[in-house]
């Protein structure tokens, strides 16, 4: 038998990088170069969002912001996503396109970084973070487009890959942000973020997209049917409660608490980087280790159970190195749970409805991103760090209960 040379997929050949095609053309995975280019774009996207995060809350405090005002600055990011992620998913499914939202998301991330750099007060930082939240809504398009590069049975693998890049990029960018602030001042991370946004806008133009069947109209009845899936509902609720704890600790008030223990700005970047490195490694291995060992339901339960204990321990730390240990453990657990929940969000959903389902999932977990720092900021201003983190641990415990509500059939 003579082996014939493999011909490039018609959807992803070099002459068709930007040509929308029918989804039926994408039954096989695209060339590695296409996936690498897309993941490079994904990496730049997260650099544009997280380079300044380690110093965001401390800088807002430096600008004269109170606990409550800092909470609003941090929560504005989640509030924008709470409002807009589901509508974006619905509209993306309606027109059968993902790529335009990716390009616009990167462009608006650059604008947000520039506005943060030029903000004369914490109030202006709220506006900039809201714009950054609008940009982050395009993560719906990123995840759905990349999952479409793989056969339906490999969704968890695809989510593991993009979650790994997500975590690794956030890790690298937060470390970079702390280093930039230490060596070049408070504003350097914001300007770097703006630069990444502009760079990513151009890179996104070279990503490949497959056109999916369109709805033609936005049907609320059809959307309700999609959003009634119990797996989607409970994975979204568990993720939202998990995000509450992330945005009150790692991406919220943990850097401020670390400063009270004597941490430097570089330490803040290292703290975030270590957390995210552990999360990235765990996310990449979730489909090979946690899933076969525990199944999706109990993998999430165990992960969030450990996060509960870690969060409750944070205010009792007396040395910076103790925070490093706690956050590394927290990162491993969150990194295990997140890609599993993302894959569950679109489990059993047709290709043409995946952006709607993912938009709902990300909108619901954005509620945690919004409410976490807002509520915790108020608690912290009234009762200090101990109650701030203790209340967050209670929310993490509720996420364990929500995970137990996932359908038992998922565990086979």
* Domain CATH number, residue 53: 1.20.1250.20
Longest dimension (CA), the chain: 78
Per the domain annotation, does 65 fall within a domain? yes
Q: How many C-beta neighbours within 10 Å does residue 306 have? A: 18
Q: How many domains does the chain contain in total?
A: 1
Per the domain annotation, does 17 fall within a domain? no
- Give dist(CA 231, CA 348) in Å, integer: 9
Write down the residue that tokens 């049907």 correspond to: 219
φ, ψ for residue 209, nearest 5 deg: -135, 140
Higher per-residue pLDDT: 266 or 327: 327
Per the domain annotation, does 52 fall within a domain? yes
What percent of the chain lies above the pLDDT cut of 90?
26
What is the mean predicted confidence (pLDDT) over 270-278? 82
**Using an 8 Å Cβ cutoff, are 156 and 291 in contact?**
yes
Higher per-residue pLDDT: 312 or 374: 312
Per the domain annotation, does 26 fall within a domain? no
Residue 22: beta bridge partners? 211
- Give dist(CA 58, CA 302) in Å, integer: 32
Per the domain annotation, does 18 fall within a domain? no
Range of the domain at 91: 34-205+225-411
Task: Give me the pLDDT at residue 16, please.
Answer: 45
Task: Give me the pLDDT at residue 27, please.
Answer: 46
Assess whether pLDDT exceeds 90 at residue 380. Answer: no
Of the given ranges (187-196, 208-217, 235-244, 361-370), which has the lowest mean pLDDT?
208-217
Helix ranges restricted to H, 314-384: 320-345, 354-383
Task: Give me the pLDDT at residue 190, please.
Answer: 95
Whole-prediction pTM value? 0.70
Three-state DSSP class for residue 7: coil
Q: Determine the distance from the C-alpha atom of residue 10 to the mean position of all C-alpha atoms in its chain, rounded to a whole number.
A: 32
Per the domain annotation, does 20 fall within a domain? no
Of the given ranges (125-134, 285-294, 402-411), which has the lowest mean pLDDT?
285-294
Per the domain annotation, does 215 fall within a domain? no
- Give dist(CA 368, CA 237) in Å, integer: 9
Q: Which two tokens stand for residue 178?
A: 């702390």
Confidence of residue 24 (pLDDT cuts 50, 70, 90): very low
Higher per-residue pLDDT: 125 or 407: 125
**Using an 8 Å Cβ cutoff, are 61 and 257 in contact?**
no
254, 227, 234: which is closest to 304 by C-alpha?
A: 234
- Give dist(CA 277, CA 330) in Å, integer: 11
φ, ψ for residue 227, nearest 5 deg: -80, 0
Per the domain annotation, does 211 fall within a domain? no
Task: Give me the pLDDT at residue 118, please.
Answer: 93
40-55 pLDDT per residue, tens: 999 999 999 999 988 8
């Amino acid at each position: 038998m003579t082996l014939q040379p493999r011909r490039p997929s018609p959807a992803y050949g070099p002459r068709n990088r930007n040509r929308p095609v029918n989804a039926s053309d994408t039954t096989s995975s695209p060339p590695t170069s296409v996936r690498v280019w897309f993941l490079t774009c994904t990496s730049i996207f997260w650099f544009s969002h997280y380079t300044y995060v380690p110093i965001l809350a401390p800088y807002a405090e430096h600008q004269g912001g109170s606990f409550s005002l800092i909470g609003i600055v941090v929560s504005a990011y989640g509030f924008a996503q709470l409002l807009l992620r589901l509508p974006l998913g619905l509209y993306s499914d309606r027109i059968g396109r993902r790529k335009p939202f990716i390009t616009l998301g990167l462009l608006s991330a650059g604008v947000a970084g520039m506005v943060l750099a030029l903000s004369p007060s914490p109030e202006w930082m709220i506006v900039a973070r809201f714009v950054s939240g609008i940009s982050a809504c395009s993560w719906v398009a990123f995840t759905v487009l990349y999952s479409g590069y793989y056969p339906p049975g490999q969704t968890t693998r695809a989510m593991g890959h993009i979650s790994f890049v997500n975590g690794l990029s956030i890790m690298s960018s937060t470390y970079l942000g702390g280093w930039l602030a230490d060596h070049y001042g408070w504003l350097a991370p914001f300007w770097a973020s703006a630069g990444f946004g502009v760079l990513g806008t151009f890179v996104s133009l070279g990503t490949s997209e497959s056109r999916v069947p369109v709805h033609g109209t936005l049907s609320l009845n059809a959307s309700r049917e999609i959003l009634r899936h119990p797996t989607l509902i409970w994975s979204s609720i568990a993720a939202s409660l998990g995000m509450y704890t992330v945005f009150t600790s790692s991406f919220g008030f943990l850097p401020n608490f670390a400063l009270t223990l004597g941490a430097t700005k570089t330490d803040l970047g290292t703290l975030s980087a270590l957390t995210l490195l552990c999360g990235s490694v765990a996310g990449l291995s979730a489909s090979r280790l946690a899933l076969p060992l525990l199944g999706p339901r109990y993998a999430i339960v165990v992960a969030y159970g450990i996060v509960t204990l870690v969060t409750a321990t944070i205010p009792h730390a007396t040395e910076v190195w103790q925070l490093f240990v706690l956050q590394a453990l927290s990162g491993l657990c969150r990194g295990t749970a997140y890609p599993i929940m993302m894959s569950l969000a679109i489990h059993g959903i047709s290709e043409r409805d995946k952006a709607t389902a993912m938009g709902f999932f990300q909108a619901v977990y954005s509620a945690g991103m919004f409410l976490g720092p807002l509520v915790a900021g108020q608690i912290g201003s009234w009762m200090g760090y101990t109650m701030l983190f203790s209340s967050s641990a209670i929310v993490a415990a509720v996420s364990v209960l929500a995970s137990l509500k996932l359908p038992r059939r998922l565990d086979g």
